[in-house]
Amino acid sequence: MGQRDDLLAGARTCLAEKGLGRTTARDIAAASGANLASIGYHFGSKDNLMNIAVLDAVNELGDAVETAVRSADGDSPAERMQVALDEVHTMLGQERGLMVASVHAYSQALFSDEVRRSTVDSIARGRGEMAAMILGVSPDELDPDRAQRLGSVVHNLIIGITFQYLLDPDSLPSGEEFVSALQVLASGVEPSLS
């Protein structure tokens, strides 16, 4: 691993141990074994480094959602979406601090070109993967435009769910309720819940 990767690994360690707000640049340097000045050289600031580390951690959670969906018995996109949303709901309860940090990182993307580029690139890659996950196919089987459209909708649903959970966790619908509501929106007909 190079020094940039070492710093990211150190930031991830600090994120898990201290959280976003209590981590100092010295903490990251100590955890990574890197020189304190290298944070500025590679990332511009400690905040940029931490934001990128948070987004990397969120991407790993996305990988866990994909694993859950692909190992579930869901045959239809609606069933796979339900599994994905239930898995996201579970993770929100287990990783609240990381989710708060991710919201902070998204907001910082408005003020940092490096964080914005990293965030936009990560989301663009993730859209195809999310679409493939919901459709139950490999990403290379999808038309890129279709993958971007469907993946964008799935991504925006997950971001919205995250915000809703952080503000009012008791109001969050289950995966089944969420998918049922989406079916109503798509068809205009109220489906019956089993």
Query: How big is the chain, counted in residues?
Result: 194
Same domain, 141 and 164: yes
Same domain, 85 and 162: yes
Measured in degrees and rounded to the nearest 5, phi and psi for residue 36 equal: -55, -40
Percent pLDDT > 70 in the chain is 97
In a domain, 78, yes or no: yes
126 pLDDT more than 60: yes
Residue 177 DSSP SS3: helix
Same domain, 33 and 57: no
Measured in degrees and rounded to the nearest 5, phi and psi for residue 44 equal: 85, -40
Same domain, 89 and 172: yes
How many domains, in total, are found in the chain?
2
pLDDT digits (tens, 9 = 90+) for 129-177: 999 999 999 888 999 898 899 999 999 998 899 899 989 999 999 999 9
| Contacting residues for 56 by C-beta, under 8 A, at least 6 apart | 8, 12
Domain carrying residue 33: 1-44
pLDDT on residue 192: 61
72 pLDDT more than 90: no
Q: Left (φ > 0), alpha (ψ -120 to 50) or beta: where does 24 sit?
A: beta
Residue 81 DSSP SS3: helix
pLDDT digits (tens, 9 = 90+) for 11-37: 988 887 887 778 899 999 999 999 999
Q: What's the rounded Cα separation, in Å, for the pair 43 and 108?
A: 14
Q: What's the rounded Cα separation, in Å, for the pair 36 and 27?
A: 9
Same domain, 19 and 68: no
